[in-house]
Each structure stands twice: as C-alpha cells, then as structure tokens.
C-alpha cells in the first residue's frame, strides 16, 4: 500500500504525457492528486508495517511531511486548472508530467527508512523541478534554472559524501555496515567519532543547501522569482519539507550519539543567521516574488532554531513546518494571480492590487499577516511556542534575537506588500485579460481557511502526531 504513494503519481505522469490536448491534459493533475490525498489519508489512519528489509515505512515524521505535501499539492493541482487556462499558448505536457513525477519522488522521500534511498529520492525532486522553473522559457528563467541545478546539485553531492563518511564510520567501528535508519540510531554511539563528526557536518551542509538555510540559500531568490506561482508554492512549501525531513533523519542519528548537543548548537546558529539574512534582504525588495524567497529563508531559519533549542520547541518546530507550507501556498498562488493581472512583479508597476484583483490582493494581505506571525493565524501559535521555549530554557539571547528579527522582517515585508495591495493602479498601466475567478481564487482561499483554523484550534489527532514525531527527535511529550 505504501508503494501506491509512489506509483500512483507515476501513472498519472504517464497518462498526462499521452493526452494530446492542452486543455484536457491539465485535468489529470487534480484527478491523481486527489487520489494521492485519499491514499495518504488512509495510510495515516491504517499504517502498514515496515517492508521485510526495513527500507520502507511511514513513521510519525514521515506522516507529517506526507500530510503537508499531499494537501499542498492537491490545492496547487486544482489551481493549475485555472492558471493554465490563461497560458494555453504554452505547451503544458512537461509541466504536468514533471509535477506528478515530483509528487512521486516526494512520496518516496517520506517513506524511505534507508538514507541512500532517501538521497536518491531527494535528488529526483531536484531534477523534476528544473523544467518547472524554466516554464516561462525566457533568459531569466533559464539563468534561475541553472543556478538552482548547480547549487542544489553541489549541495546534494556534499550530502552524498556525508553518507559515505557515515557508512565508513560503521566499518571503522566494526559495526554492521548499513544506512538503515534504525540500525544507525541503535549503533550511533559506537560509530567512529572522527568519521561520524565529518559525516554530520557534510550532511548538514548538503541538506541545508537544499532547504535554503543561509548562507546556502543563494538559489532561492532567482528560482522563486522566475518560477510560476504554483511551482513556487511547491518549492517553498513542499520540497523544503523533504529536505527538512532528510535533515531530521540525520538529527535522529546525532541525538542518539554523543554529538547531539553540538548538532543542535550548529542548527541554532544557522537558524538565527538565516533569520538575520532575511531581515536584511527583505527590506525594500522591489520584486515581490523574490521577497517571498527571503521569507522562505526566514522560516527554514525559524524551524532550525526550534530544532536547535530541542525539548518542547521540537513540537512547535514541526507545527511550524505545516503552518509554513500552508501559508506559503497562499502567498505564492495569490502572487501568481497578481503577477498575471499586472503582467509584472515589480513594485514600480504593481500598485493598488485590491482594485484590480480584490480577492487575490486580500488573500496576499491576509497571508502576509499570517506569515509574519500575526494572531490569530497558525504561524503565530508555533512562533509563540518557540520563543516561549527559548525563554523557558533560559536562552534569553536566542529569544531576544528571535523577536528582534521577527520585528525587522515584519517591517521589511510590509514596505513591499502594502504598496502592492493598497493605493491606486497606475493610470498608464496596460490591462491584461486576467480577472479573479473561482478556479484561481478558491484554492488559496481554502488554504487560508486552514491557516486560520489551525491558529484557533489544533485537532487532537494532529497534536498526537506532532507529539509522536517530536519524541522521535528526543523531544518532550
């Protein structure tokens, strides 16, 4: 049954490749993503046992990422039907097939209990995203695609070296040679300390570059800025989760060894550095899609801070991963609509969006408030829990810097978002044929509703799942 998560999207990709018509092909996306969501929901309730060799299983961490990614992908695929109706002149065969192959690869990431298999799946997500970033076929998109491929490939290659070092540490220590997660956790304390230490550093750098932790984030502004809105949503809300899951697997091994505290300290530092980078580069951004890239750097930093703090902050960090996925989905889809309506993403030309695209602009404004940690939205809850944990542990410097960076980012992001949304549309600006309509507004509206609901009430099953996942990382119940 777990393999259905991988095979079902591949079947959809093959079917979308065979459908000859642009209009009909796009409907393959929601059909198979809804089927994938239904299978995912069934597996969350009735999880089968691990595969005989132990390579495939869905534990609590995998369930969280699967749930977030499947919901986000379904919403984006529904949005794609409306979005691509405005882009019928551009062939969408590669886009539809690549999206479904990417869904298959992300599903393989969440069910992999073997770090080598996880690495292959993560590399597959990198490759399948490249043609999606290049969808607009212009000079800037090809530059963004190459930068994305080069930096992420170097990062993932460094992670592969880290895996080799980890495997070699088992040989030197005369332990069972394996990259299976349960075996590595069991033998972590007995592994050769030198090779184990090198492995953790390489894996942190490799998976950190895929996540976009500063200063390894340089591919993000171009990729997020040039990719279509729905691709940006999946990059910021879906693929980031896959890279984070890979990092969490390493975190599990580090926590079982004698180097857990050092690993946490490095994560805490990288998290604060990421937030500081975001605070500096967010100010006065003239491209509102590039601004979202720095917002993504900020939020992977927030999650890294939570992992660095450990204990009760782990629950909050995992909750923030879900909140970030949903809210980034709203931001990118609403941005995509505004971009189409103004045929520009520069704040020099995009003003008064509430008058031209009232629904999309209102969603953009609401999502801005949510992602900057304003109540009553879900990110407020997770960020409040993280900063409370920092002060509760006596880590006042971390808590103080965390709040300072949040305040600076709010001011910087507001200086871009508010002029885009408010004011008057420039009188000499050309009119486009995009208008807010149900197919392009309802999907982000549903996501925004989820962000609001999770800010007011976290369902008990989700709380239990978050606690189970936090326990796997050594967190408190």
Q: Which of residues 432 and 473 earns the better pLDDT score?
A: 473
Q: For 179-215, write each residue's pLDDT tens digit.
A: 999 999 999 999 999 999 999 999 999 999 999 998 8
pLDDT recorded at residue 136: 85
What tokens were used for 161? 């070296």
Region label for 191, one of left (φ > 0), alpha (ψ between -120 and 50) or beta (otherwise) = beta
Residue with tokens 């002029």: 419
Q: What pLDDT does residue 311 have?
A: 86
Integer angstrom CA distances of residue 168 from 174, 248, 252, 257, 460: 10, 21, 18, 16, 43
136 vs 47, higher pLDDT: 47
pLDDT tens profile 56-78:
999 999 999 999 999 999 999 99
Span 235-265, pLDDT tens digits: 999 999 999 999 999 999 999 988 889 999 9
pLDDT tens by residue, 262-305: 999 999 999 999 999 999 998 878 899 999 999 999 999 999 99
Nearest C-alpha neighbor of 283 from the set 425, 147, 407: 407
| 168-185 per-position pLDDT tens digit | 999 988 888 889 999 999
Residue 477, pLDDT score: 52
Work out the pLDDT band at 128, boundaries 50, 70, 90.
Answer: very high
Q: How confident is the model at residue 355 (pLDDT cuts 50, 70, 90)?
A: very high
pLDDT at position 434 = 85
Indicate the SS3 state at residue 149. helix
Instruction: Assess contact for 371 and 295: CB atoms under 8 A.
Output: yes
pLDDT confidence of residue 474: 83
Distance CA 368, CA 345 (A): 16
Q: What is the pLDDT of residue 208?
A: 93
* CB atoms inside a 10 Å sphere around CB 89: 6
Q: Which two tokens stand for residue 330?
A: 């709203």
The Cβ of residue 88 has, within 10 Å, a number of other Cβ atoms equal to 11
Eight-state DSSP code of residue 423: S
DSSP string, 269-287: HHHHHHHHHHHHHHTT-SB
Other beta carbons less than 10 A from residue 217's beta carbon: 23
Query: Phi/psi zone of residue 284: left (φ > 0), alpha (ψ -120 to 50 degrees), beta?
Result: left
Tell me the angle at which helices 4-18 and 93-111 cross, rounded to the nearest 10 degrees: 170
Residue 443 has pLDDT above 80, yes or no: yes
Residue with the larger pLDDT of the pair 377 and 156 = 377
pLDDT at residue 135 is higher than 80: yes
pLDDT (mean) for 373-395: 96
In this predicted structure, the answer to whether residue 93 has a pLDDT above a threshold of 70 is: yes
**pLDDT at position 360 over 60:** yes
Tell whether pTM > 0.75: yes
pLDDT band (50, 70, 90) for residue 409 = very high
Asked whether the predicted pLDDT for residue 475 surpasses 70, the reply is: no
Asked whether the beta carbons of 233 and 240 are under 8 A apart, the reply is no
- 3-state secondary structure at position 112: strand
Question: Over pLDDT 90: what percentage of the chain?
Answer: 81
**pLDDT confidence of residue 476:** 61
């Amino acid at each position: 049954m777990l393999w259905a998560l991988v095979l079902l999207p591949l079947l959809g990709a093959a079917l979308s490749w065979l459908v000859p018509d642009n209009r009909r092909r796009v409907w393959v996306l929601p059909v198979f993503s809804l089927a994938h969501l239904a299978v995912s929901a069934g597996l969350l309730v009735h999880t089968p046992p691990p595969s005989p060799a132990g390579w495939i299983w869905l534990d609590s961490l995998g369930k969280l990422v699967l749930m977030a990614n499947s919901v986000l992908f379904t919403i984006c695929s529904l949005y794609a039907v409306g979005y691509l109706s405005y882009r019928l002149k551009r062939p969408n065969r590669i886009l539809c097939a690549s999206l479904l192959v990417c869904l298959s690869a992300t599903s393989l990431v969440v069910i992999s209990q073997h770090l080598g298999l996880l690495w292959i799946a993560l590399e597959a997500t990198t490759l399948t995203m490249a043609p999606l970033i290049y969808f607009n076929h212009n000079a800037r998109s090809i530059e963004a695609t190459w930068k994305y491929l080069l930096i992420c490939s170097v990062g993932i290659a460094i992670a592969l070296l880290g895996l080799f070092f980890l495997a070699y540490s088992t040989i030197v220590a005369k332990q069972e040679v394996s990259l299976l997660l349960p075996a590595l956790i069991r033998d972590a304390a007995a592994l050769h300390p030198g090779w184990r230490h090198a492995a953790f550093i390489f894996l942190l750098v490799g998976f950190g570059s895929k996540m976009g932790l500063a200063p390894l984030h340089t591919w993000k502004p171009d990729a997020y800025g040039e990719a279509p809105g729905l691709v940006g949503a999946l990059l910021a809300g879906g693929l980031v989760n896959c890279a984070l899951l890979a990092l969490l697997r390493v975190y599990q091994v580090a926590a079982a060894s004698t180097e857990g505290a050092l690993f946490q300290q490095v994560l805490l530092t990288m998290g604060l550095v990421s937030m500081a980078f975001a605070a500096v580069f967010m100010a006065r951004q003239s491209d509102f899609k590039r601004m979202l890239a720095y917002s993504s750097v900020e939020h992977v930093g927030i999650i890294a801070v939570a992992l660095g703090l450990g204990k009760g902050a782990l629950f909050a960090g995992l909750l923030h991963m879900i909140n970030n996925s949903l809210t980034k989905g709203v931001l990118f889809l609403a941005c995509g609509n505004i971009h189409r309506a103004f045929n520009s993403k520069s704040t020099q030309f995009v003003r008064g969006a509430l008058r031209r695209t009232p629904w999309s602009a209102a969603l953009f404004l609401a999502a801005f408030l949510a992602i900057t940690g304003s109540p009553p939205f879900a990110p407020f809850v997770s960020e409040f829990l993280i900063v409370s944990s920092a002060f509760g542990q006596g880590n006042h410097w971390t808590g103080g810097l965390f709040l300072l960076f949040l305040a600076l980012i709010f001011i910087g992001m507001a200086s871009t978002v508010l002029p885009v949304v408010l004011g008057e549309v420039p009188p000499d600006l050309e009119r486009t044929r995009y208008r807010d309509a149900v197919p392009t507004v309802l999907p982000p509206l549903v996501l925004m509703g989820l962000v609001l609901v999770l800010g007011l009430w976290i369902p008990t099953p989700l709380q239990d799942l978050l606690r189970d996942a936090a326990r796997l990382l050594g967190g408190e119940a």
